[in-house]
Amino acid sequence: MIKYIATFLFLSSFLSNGAVIWTGNAGTDIFDGANYSGLANGFVLGPNVTVEDDVTYNNATVSIPQVSAQQRFQVASGFTMTLNGSNFTLSGGSNDGIGGVPGSKLPAGPAGPTLNIINGSSLEAFFIVNGVQMNVDGTSSVTLGGAGNPVNISSINLDTGATLSFTRETIAQFNTEHLSKITINGTAAQEGLNFTIDALGAAGSTITAIPEPSVGLFGAIGCVVLLLRRRR
């Protein structure tokens, strides 16, 4: 039995995909498979075609172009898409986005993919959909261009310093439609406590994650204690 298990694991290591890495060899189109290494042999990438692997973009310049209807770059549940020092923009009037497979949803589950925006990255997309857990670190920013429900059955966590902008969602619309989908450093978003919100033009809004007052207070107390100790 042990021999059969070992053989199965050995064969599985060859059948499973390796990490998919952006190369940009063919341009900036997110849907062009020639811009990636690590895709499975015979796999044809395209809108709404599921990538069953982790996908990483390092120092990349990527465009999400307009395609027929409204579609998405799609990653399977349990995998992670990482933007590391990268810049994503909509092009050609695009109304497309990033998502998981249909049936995935948050917060109720089943969860879709994880989308990490880190190390000074900026993401412009029309929407995220189908169970995406998007995490934005304190050096990065996200802009969502869709109206109605650009954070669709998905969730977003912002680290202190991160910004999240909606070009077609006012402050009132954000509070009604999206506030419950946002966490700041893993805790519930509360205006004035851990985030601020400002108007973005006439129809948009921008959220900025800020430190909670207790963090600043403890820091100030620490400085006072240190000064008192030095005076002694």
- For residue 187, count other CB atoms closer than 10 A to its CB: 11
**pLDDT of amino acid 5:** 37
Q: d(Cα 33, Cα 25) in Å, to the nearest integer?
A: 10
Which helix (H) or strand (E) element contains residue 228?
A: helix 213-231
pLDDT in tens, 200-215: 999 999 999 999 986 5
Q: Is it the case that residue 2 has pLDDT exceeding 80?
A: no
DSSP state of 118: E
The residue range of the domain holding 181 is 2-231
Domains held by the chain: number: 1
Q: What is the DSSP letter of 72?
A: E
Does the pLDDT value for residue 57 go beyond 70? yes
Average pLDDT over residues 75-101: 98
In the sheet that 50-51 helps form, which strands lie side by side, from edge to edge? 50-51, 72-75, 97-99, 128-129, 151-152
- For the stretch 138-196, pLDDT in tens is 999 999 999 999 999 999 999 999 999 999 999 999 999 999 999 999 999 999 999 99
pTM of the predicted structure, to 2 decimals: 0.86
Check residue 61 and give its pLDDT: 98
Mean pLDDT value of segment 99-116:
96
Question: Average pLDDT for residues 34-62, to the nearest whole number?
Answer: 98
Average pLDDT, the chain: 89
Q: What is the pLDDT of residue 213?
A: 87
Element (H or E) spanning 205, and its range? strand 204-209
The pairing of strands 128-129 and 151-152 is parallel
Nearest alpha-carbon partner for 127 in 102, 152, 104? 152
